[in-house]
Amino acid sequence: MPKQNNYHNSEQDRRISLIEEHIAIYNKEMGETKKDIGIIKTDVCWLKKFFWVVVVASVSGLMTGIINLLQK
């Protein structure tokens, strides 16, 4: 069995460290993006309420129209 030398490749280590730095930056930015998306999801609560107001008004208008037609 041949003797193993401790081979140190500085160029490869430099590239790996650069990649690790980029991954850390991506993780940080994605975390901030997730927080921003969470805030946007909570801000659209008013939209759900508005939807239900429109639905209730439409259904009540439809029922009123049907009752008026049946009375004639």
Query: Confidence band (pLDDT; 50, 70, 90) for 60?
Result: very high
The 3 state secondary structure assigned to 36-66 is HHHHHHHHCHHHHHHHHHHHHHHHHHHHHHH
Please write the tens of the pLDDT for every residue from 26-36: 888 887 777 77
pTM comes to: 0.40
Specify the DSSP class assigned to residue 6. -
Record the tokens describing residue 46, joined without a space.
């008013």
First to last CA, the chain: 104
Please write the tens of the pLDDT for every residue from 16-58: 889 999 988 888 888 777 777 776 666 667 788 889 999 999 9
